[in-house]
Structures are given as structure tokens and as C-alpha cells.
Amino acid sequence: MSVVDLPPGIGLVGTPLGSFHAPRRARRLAAAAVAISAVLGVLTWYFVSRHPWRRGATLQITLPLALLAVALLGLAVRSAALAVTRDGVRWGWSVLGFHQEAARLACAHVYRDGIALEARRGSWWFLAARDWDRFDLLVRQLHRSELPLAEHDRRAPLRARLQSYGRFLDLLLLGTIAASVVVAVWAS
């Protein structure tokens, strides 16, 4: 017996039918970007501390912090999980998350390369297939959740694909690693 009984969808997120994470290679890239930018940042500060009055030293001190912040943001986004419940779809972490409730969903459009969650009011969510492990299982769990679905045998429209952050985030993390190397070499 519980102290409080709540019907589904009021206050508590339902039991996930499936939980999905970013691909392992994307999570590894994010962790590597954090580690490399932290190590090269400390190395850069060491080089700057030997010659603190050199031209550009202030930039060489602050850039590693900014690059580490970008890498940490990438790691946070890649560590978020996607959960499909009968109450809707949730993206985020155990402490903080964003929930698209089933009552607000007009339709979940399933394409070959992703899923577009169409809200009755507000913006759409696009879940790209390349951003989530086991995409075929994700589609199966959406069917099980009894959310309204529409299957399309084509790629998602461009306006939906533009919401996909995976490729941009991976390029941003690679750019962070490259910029950390450049700043460390510059400071040496």
C-alpha cells in the first residue's frame, strides 16, 4: 500500500517501456573531449605561468576554461537518456528532464531516419536515428506505448532534420579538441 496514489500522468512519470542512450562512440568522444581539454588546459596554464607577461597570456588563460565548458556541455547532452512511457516521452537525466506528455502529443511521425513528435501546441521534437542506440527498438516501444503514430516510408522533412543535434555536437567536440591543441601549442 502506498501513502499517495496518483493516476498516471499526474505528477509522476510512468514506468519506462524502454530507455535509450546516445551511441557508445558518441559518449566516448564526449568523454575524450573533456579529458583532452582538461589536460591540455592544465598544460597551457603551466606554459603561461612560466611567462605570464607575454602577449596573449590573458587569452591563453581563459580559452582553456571556455573549451572545457563546451566539452562538459557535450558530455552532459550525450549522457542524457530517452525514456518512452505510456505517459509520453522523456529526455534528460534523473534529476532534470523534459517530458512530452501523451495528452499533448497529436502524433508521433516515424520516418526511416528519425521520429518527429508533433505536439498539439508548440514545437515538434525530432529524435534522429543516428543519435540513439537501438532505434528499431525505440520505434517498437513507441508502438507499445499506444501513442498516436503515423509511419512514413521516407526520410524526415528538412525542418525536422534540422533539429537533430548529433552531427553538430560531434563536430563541436572535435573542434574543442583541436582548439585545445592549438592553444597549448601557442602557449608553449
Query: What per-residue confidence (pLDDT) applies to 16?
Result: 67
Q: Which residues contact 148 (CB under 8 A, 6 or more apart)?
A: 105, 106, 107, 108
pLDDT digits 0-9 by tens, 70-105: 999 999 999 998 888 878 888 888 888 888 887 888
Spans of the chain, pLDDT less than 50 = 1-11
Whole-model pTM: value is 0.80
Query: What per-residue confidence (pLDDT) applies to 14?
Result: 58
Query: What per-residue confidence (pLDDT) applies to 8?
Result: 47
Domain regions of the chain by residue span:
22-78+168-187, 98-164
CATH classification code of 98-164: 3.30.720
Q: How far apart are CA 61 and CA 187, in angstroms?
A: 9
Query: What per-residue confidence (pLDDT) applies to 160?
Result: 80
Query: What per-residue confidence (pLDDT) applies to 183?
Result: 93
Q: Give me Rg for the CA atoms of the chain.
A: 21
Instruction: Count Cα atoms within 13 angstroms, Cβ side, for 89.
Output: 27
**Rounded percentage of the chain residues whose pLDDT exceeds 70:** 91
